[in-house]
Structure 1
């Protein structure tokens, strides 16, 4: 089933807003701002980027580039590059009635050009330099090759290589499990975020603070969050961890990006999109 661009835009914006409603330690959310950003910045970013993210007939690269440009015009800073990199292939798949794997297999040189332009515009913190496929250089013909180069150090790049493996193996099962426990939507979103925090070192933390610190943050999340029962709505311990991480400049942004993508993918599937083949979903 092909989804209309207007539907895709609405579901994307709803996913962005739902993620903000959830208590996500270290990130910006309705309970607490942080990292010199407020919830209002992300609300404005979602509204500004939605039309380009759902641009009818456009490819992954154009959607990411145009949505980043629209975001900067609205809020003047990078609030959503990771979200857009993850959500653009989902949006294209939904519009084409295709799978994410098929969209990634069909990426063209224009997609690499668009994504490289978007990354240069967003200038995410801690990006550094790469020996091959550096974003400061001209874009390669193959976006997939560039993502393969970055995949060992960046979880979003890895998603382009393994067909969004983390989303299907971590995020969507966590969301289904939370719903099975009877959690309300906001706490279901918290459950997804905590699942990503504990599953792997956050790439954004690694870029800013190094791989060792990112692993220590993951281990701290496991120790602090593993025994929590979200059915009790444990606001106090989550806010304590949130405050400690923000005081230390820790922002697990990649986990938040994957959380938005998980909510978006779930909403698209509920609307009739076929994002993965039956074997992968099972």
Structure 2
């Protein structure tokens, strides 16, 4: 198991890494976007970290306290999806006993209950994510009547973050870990590795943040644009060319107000897992 200070440091590092790459349509150090700047996200990460890593805290409490701390610090929703993904990962990393991180995560997800759901629902309402709307059943504005994992499973077909709760974070431990491995094998630096990780998600999934806000047609069209840009990036091997291609798409997406936030959330979670695997003492680190 990792201690709270290690987990908090890993969380902040993952958030900083995500901002250091020119992820098209998202906020990063090369360009602001959607009324926010990279400094807002760094401040959010530092505010949320002690609550994400709180010793002995249930997942719902980690989520609730981290969202509240973020709002106190920056006054807007910068990191709800990141918190929803990283809270159970942090809980898993802090579990004592044998097992790999993904095995401990499975036990964490199985143990989620009504109280976790209720606290998470309140946090989601507090954050007021774009395109939240209302659900026909188990609406987050109402008291929880199912466990957090069950609630997330019901939203899995329309939300990439919720889908991870339903499938055991398979896109994080599978696709994400593999993208990081491939980038490192090619000798890419941390920032380029992060860009390639993000593009892996963005070329495979219509971003559900865009879909909620602008509709399925726009999400599908944006997916096609990401696939075209990813193919161009695949054809080059130097950082400058990759970043130039990414920044061209970045300017175009931001002009339309399109923010692939769900893919960015998955990127942070995969980076967080990578840091956690480096600090966990368990020898079974393959996730």
Residue 187 of structure 1 is matched in structure 2 by: 192
The 5-angstrom pairing of residues 87-98 of structure 1 reads 87-97=86-96
How many aligned residue pairs are there? 278
Structure 2 residue matching 1:136: 3-state secondary structure = coil
Residue 84 of structure 1 is matched in structure 2 by: 83
Q: Which contiguous aligned blocks of 4+ residues in structure 1 show a shift greater than 4 angstroms?
A: 273-278
Residue of structure 1 aligned with 2:178, choices 157, 169, 173: 173
Structure 2 residue matching 1:26: 3-state secondary structure = coil
Structure 2 residue matching 1:22: 3-state secondary structure = coil
Residue 256 of structure 2 is matched in structure 1 by: 248
The yes-or-no answer on 1:132 pairing with 2:137 is yes
Indicate the larger mover: 141-150 or 172-181. 141-150
* C-alpha displacement of 1:109: 1.6
The 5-angstrom pairing of residues 1-282 of structure 1 reads 2-97=1-96, 99-229=104-234, 231-233=237-239, 234=241, 235-272=243-280, 281=287
CA contact (8 A) 1:90 1:275 kept: no
Deviation track 1:120-170 (CA, whole Å, cap 9, x = no partner) reads 100101011110011111112311221111111011111001000111221
Structure 1 residue matching 2:232: 3-state secondary structure = coil
- Please provide the CA RMSD for this pair: 1.6
What TM-score, normalized by structure 1, do the two folds share?
0.95
What TM-score, normalized by structure 2, do the two folds share?
0.93
Deviation track 1:35-65 (CA, whole Å, cap 9, x = no partner) reads 0000110010011000000011001110010
CA contact (8 A) 2:10 2:272 kept: yes
Unaligned segments of structure 2, at least 5 residues: 97-102
Partners of 1:273 and 1:199 in 2: how far apart? 33
Deviation track 1:87-123 (CA, whole Å, cap 9, x = no partner) reads 0111000000462111101112211111011101001
CA contact (8 A) 2:138 2:146 kept: no
Partners of 1:175 and 1:148 in 2: how far apart? 27
